[in-house]
Structure 1
């Protein structure tokens, strides 16, 4: 108890200094409080501005709208992927490889007027067309090609056209 009495006596003898110290601490606390309230007011203003969004919509409505748009776009992309795969399948069956070999079929005809053309799809299926030009006659032959080979006998020029086409 003697300790409490001494402390009480010390505070009473220096009361003006104790009150001055407490006043300074209260003023510092007030400055910190005002500063925090000003920062909070700025943050609230920015938050309200952000929540306003575009054209008066709040941010939540705007985000939900964008999420719905993204879902629609994903659905369209899925549809386009299906169409793209279908078109890729179709395109493999289309003409993709063509090669032409011109040649002179007869000694007495110049200018390489005869030709062999190979027309193939991506699986090397298609046709080889030969045209033989002579002074008195003109003939055209068509031979089917399956997997890069024909069941008919091919001339050297037809083989050359087929080989060139398959390399493409």
Structure 2
């Protein structure tokens, strides 16, 4: 740079000094506002951080997280244990009698009341048995007919069909 160039700069600065000072003052004022805003946000963040780090009952956040992770692991283990128990009970329940239908009837005209009956007992897969009891004055007889998938390969009487239908309606 030559002396002439520096003198031009000096003249420019001296002639525009009030405007330059005004611009710098405005920049300092904006910087001050930004600084105050950042300081307020940092103060809030610092309070939240201290509160979080103190945890509950003075325990710091690391201990609190380790404790909660342990509790979560115990809960997951318990859920897995309960799921196994659920599967076991579901298997037992599906093989247990869940649906039944009963039809009472009078097998013979010379006996009073509806002392004969047909009873359908079905599990969750609609497998089971239809029991029939025929009551007479001098004797009683009981018949059992297997049911697979809601149907029997044996001939069913109207009363047995009615009992099976009632049991199947309850399974729907």
TM-score bracket, normalised by the shorter chain, equals 0.7 to 0.9
Q: 1:121 & 1:34 partners in 2: Cα distance?
A: 76
Alpha-carbon contact 2:131-2:143 (below 8 Å) kept: yes
Alpha-carbon contact 1:51-1:59 (below 8 Å) kept: yes
What is the deviation of 1:56? 1.5
Q: 2:99 & 2:121 partners in 1: Cα distance?
A: 6
Alpha-carbon contact 1:101-1:161 (below 8 Å) kept: yes
Aligned to 2:58, the other structure's residue is in SS state: coil
Alpha-carbon contact 2:131-2:142 (below 8 Å) kept: yes
Aligned to 1:95, the other structure's residue is in SS state: coil
Give the TM-score of the pair, scaled to structure 1. 0.77
Point out which structure has higher relative CO (alpha carbons under 8 A, 6+ apart). Answer: 2
Structure 1: stretches of 5+ with no match in the other structure: none
Alpha-carbon contact 2:130-2:147 (below 8 Å) kept: no
- Of 159, 162, 165, 2:164 maps to 162
What is the deviation of 1:39? 3.0
2:46 maps to 1:44: yes
- Cα distance, 1:23–1:121 mapped onto 2, change above 3 Å: closer
2:86 maps to 1:84: yes
Alpha-carbon contact 2:115-2:135 (below 8 Å) kept: yes
- Of 97, 112, 115, 2:114 maps to 112
Report the aligned-residue RMSD. 2.8
What is the deviation of 1:12? 4.6
- Cα distance, 1:125–1:10 mapped onto 2, change above 3 Å: closer
> Partner residue of 1:127?
129
Aligned to 2:102, the other structure's residue is in SS state: strand
Structure 2: stretches of 5+ with no match in the other structure: none
2:146 maps to 1:145: yes
> Partner residue of 2:97?
95
Alpha-carbon contact 1:119-1:127 (below 8 Å) kept: yes
**1:105-124 deviation line (CA, Å, top 9, x unaligned):** 11123432221112122233
What is the deviation of 1:143? 1.1
Which runs of 4 or more aligned residues in structure 1 lie more than 6 Å from their structure 2 counterparts after TM superposition?
A: none
Aligned length: 165
